[in-house]
Amino acid sequence: MAEPKPPRAEDPLRSKIMRAVKRSSTRAERALAEALLRLGVSFETNDRSLPGTPDIVLPHKRLAVFVHGCFWHRHPGCPRATFPKTHVDYWAKKFKANVERDKRKIQALEEMGWNVKVVWECEVLRDAEQVAHVLLADDG
């Protein structure tokens, strides 16, 4: 196994962050996970035991969070949610399927008694800490 080792974490918070976010796939997910850790919140990432594999789960609040990419999940009115100019039918179908899948996931979680929040990539990248505060402030 010639894979290079990741750099050693310098402090406990840093290594906690590294562990928590290693399975998170997007920059926005990592930013939000990091903001929550800095606030001392415990959470799971990419919980496969739940419908739709929520990006972040706060078990103590029974809160499941999806960090949605603005392009793929069609953030309404967002400049990142551009519409490709070619293969329009293909994209229209694909986007519709994504949005409908999102709705089904959220519904399945709510039926299991979870609170579900969707946060958008652009909001998290703008101010992850603010998004984290909003998530924690809701439905206490």
Please tell me the distance from the alpha carbon of residue 30 to that of residue 45, in angstroms, as a whole number.
10
- Degrees to nearest 5, angle at CA 73 with 69 and 77: 90
Please tell me the distance from the alpha carbon of residue 120 to that of residue 4, in angstroms, as a whole number.
33
Q: Please say whether the beta carbons of 34 and 133 come within 8 A.
A: no
122 binds Zn ion (CB under 5 A): yes
Query: Closer CB to Zn ion, residue 43 or residue 120?
Result: 120
Query: Closer CB to Zn ion, residue 41 or residue 78?
Result: 78
The span of 20-28, 50-58, 109-117, 118-126 binding Zn ion (CB under 5 A) equals 118-126
Residues 43-82, one symbol each (x = binds Zn ion by CB under 5 A, - = not), give ---------------------------x----x--x-x--
**Among candidates 68, 88, 87, 86, which has minimal Cα distance to 78?**
68
CB of 5 to Zn ion, least distance (A): 36
- Dihedrals φ, ψ of 46, to 5°? 45, 60
Query: Closer CB to Zn ion, residue 33 or residue 81?
Result: 81
The span of 48-56, 86-94, 97-105, 122-130 binding Zn ion (CB under 5 A) equals 122-130
Please tell me the distance from the alpha carbon of residue 108 to that of residue 99, in angstroms, as a whole number.
14
Q: Which residues bind Zn ion (CB under 5 A)?
A: 70, 75, 78, 80, 120, 122
